[in-house]
Structure 1
Amino acid sequence: MTLYGYARVSTGDQDLALQEAALRSAGCQVTRSEKKTGTQREGRTELDILLQFLRPGDTLVITRIDRLARSLKDLQDIMHELKSKGVTLKATEQPVDTSTAAGKAFFDMLGVFAEFETNLRRERQMEGIAAAKERGVYTGRKPKIDPDEVRRLFSEENLSSTAIAKRLKVARSSVYRFLPELQTVSSPAGKEA
């Protein structure tokens, strides 16, 4: 039985050192680490590599369940994949060991709470944004594109929507948003939408 560790933090400014040290102390010969959000599985290449590498009888070791996933569906999908390969899961900071009935039950409970925590955080964030909007403090993200510049490039420089998008380094659909005349009537002579 080989122990493989997986460490994850959500942002680039967070440190993986404590998790990696805990995984080494737990006996992991190989540890894969990454700085990616746990709310979605997509884009987590280190986890994908590790899941492909695991063989029957191996054990995947993490520090806490929320390091593996913050969505109950992702957690269940990963667990199903591990189970189908004959791989068990252990957590160093929680009584999770899927080779036992009690460990499996605790794993399921922790998964529910990890998703609950994520949903609570999202609700608090939305409430904060709504309150900030009411106070006139929150105006959203700064616009990436200047509508007047789009119109100027179209009317004065006679550029097509594609050329405008390339020059401003934005999607062509963004250009169309500020040039509704391109959507309803054919473009002026010499210009292609």
Structure 2
Amino acid sequence: MLAGYARVSTDEQHLDLQLAALTEYGCKVIFRDHGCSGVDARRPGLLAALEALGPGDTFVVWRLDRLGRSLADLIDWMARFSEQGVRFVSLTESIDTTSPTGRFMFHMIAALAEFERGLITERTRAGLAAARERGRAPGRPAALTANQLAQARALLATEPLEAVARHFNVHRHTLRRHLRRTGTG
């Protein structure tokens, strides 16, 4: 069996590009995960693919990062495929693990991908630290101002939490979280 696997992390993303490439390669069965992070090992589509694959089958992904987000994850997947006698192919990186060269290329590209992810994480952390030094708070602005929180506290003396949250057009969890942060929730 020639089986493909396509994954996107958010509901707003589309699988179209991956599906087209997998179909063009000849995959008759394509397992999918929509809105699943590559960090989560319990992706329904991927787990279904593992159950369906057997010795002599080929598992195809559009790109390595569709399968896993770290070198350790990717190596674990390769070990699983090897134990099952499953060939692995990554289209974008031109990796085919049936040859020693393919296995070597897999390890080299996976290591580079993890290195790149580490650099992105470092740059993000440095950018957040620089923003804090400039007096800017990273993330979304608070849903409620200090004045609104004071009003909410007063209203909570006579109104249920849900009604107060509706009054300020926020979810009850948001209101509770803001109150907890200010030490009144």
**Which range, TM-score by smaller chain?**
0.7 to 0.9
2:154 pairs, out of 152, 169, 190, with 152
Matches within 5 A, 1:37-56: 38-42=37-41, 44-56=43-55
**Taking structure 1 as the reference length, what is the TM-score of the superposition?**
0.73
User: How far, CA to CA, are the matches of 1:150 and 1:178 in structure 2?
Assistant: 12
| 8 Å contact kept, 2:59–2:86 | yes
Cα offset for 1:151? 3.6
Cα offset for 1:165? 8.4
Alignment deviations for residues 22-74 of structure 1 (CA, whole Å, 9 cap, x no partner) = 11111111112333465402452211221222112111011221221121122
Identity, in percent, stands at 37
The amino acid that maps onto 2:11 is G
Question: Does structure 1 residue 117 correspond to structure 2 residue 122?
Answer: no
Cα offset for 1:166? 10
* Residue aligning to 1:60: 59
User: How far, CA to CA, are the matches of 1:72 and 1:110 in structure 2?
Assistant: 9
Question: Does structure 1 residue 170 correspond to structure 2 residue 169?
Answer: no
The amino acid that maps onto 1:63 is W
Question: Does structure 1 residue 4 correspond to structure 2 residue 7?
Answer: no
| 8 Å contact kept, 1:39–1:69 | yes
User: How far, CA to CA, are the matches of 2:37 and 2:107 in structure 1?
Assistant: 17
User: How far, CA to CA, are the matches of 2:164 and 2:75 in structure 1?
Assistant: 45
Cα offset for 1:141? 3.0
| 8 Å contact kept, 1:8–1:67 | yes
Q: Which has the larger radius of gyration?
A: 1
Cα offset for 1:153? 5.4
User: How far, CA to CA, are the matches of 1:40 and 1:21 in structure 2?
Assistant: 24
- Compared CA separation, residues 39 and 126, structure 1 to 2 (3 A): farther
The amino acid that maps onto 2:95 is V
- Compared CA separation, residues 139 and 22, structure 1 to 2 (3 A): closer
SS, match of residue 21 in structure 1: helix
Question: Does structure 1 residue 75 correspond to structure 2 residue 78?
Answer: no
User: How far, CA to CA, are the matches of 2:163 and 2:56 in structure 1?
Assistant: 53
User: How far, CA to CA, are the matches of 1:17 and 1:177 in structure 2?
Assistant: 42
| 8 Å contact kept, 2:38–2:65 | no
Cα offset for 1:129? 1.9
RMSD, matched Cα: 2.9
User: How far, CA to CA, are the matches of 2:163 and 2:30 in structure 1?
Assistant: 42
User: How far, CA to CA, are the matches of 1:69 and 1:89 in structure 2?
Assistant: 13
* Residue aligning to 1:136: 135
Q: Which moved more, 1:9-18 or 1:105-114?
A: 9-18
Alignment deviations for residues 131-183 of structure 1 (CA, whole Å, 9 cap, x no partner) = 222333444333467753664356x23x8xxx758975329x84555446x9x
The amino acid that maps onto 2:154 is R
Alignment deviations for residues 85-140 of structure 1 (CA, whole Å, 9 cap, x no partner) = 11110112223111211111111111111111111111122222222223334443
* Residue aligning to 1:21: 20
